[in-house]
Amino acid sequence: MADDKTNAAAYWKANVRLIFGCLAVWAFVSYGCAILFRPLLAGIPVGGTDLGFWFAQQGSILTFIVLIFFYAWRMNKLDEKFGLGE
């Protein structure tokens, strides 16, 4: 019983660490890149708009899609590590 609680606590700790890591990347890309880097790239035209706008919009979307797949892959690895795999 104590071993199950220890295992569950370790699993939850690893899960929360993964979530916070993904949220940190999400916050950096959505707020940092879109707000901080946009003025630096504003003068470069791409497809009728400036490069800063393009990266703020398209780069964010692509990063979020990659984060979804990364989270699913890491959770599968965590499940296997703690004996909860499918």
Average pLDDT over residues 32-57: 80
Q: Which domain holds residue 45?
A: 14-81
Percentage of the chain exceeding pLDDT 70: 97
**46 in a domain, yes or no?**
yes
Question: How many structural domains compose the chain?
Answer: 1
**4 in a domain, yes or no?**
no
Phi-psi region at 46: left, alpha or beta (left = phi > 0; alpha = psi -120 to 50)? beta
**6 in a domain, yes or no?**
no
**1 in a domain, yes or no?**
no
**61 in a domain, yes or no?**
yes
* pLDDT 10s digits, 1-24: 567 778 889 999 999 999 999 999
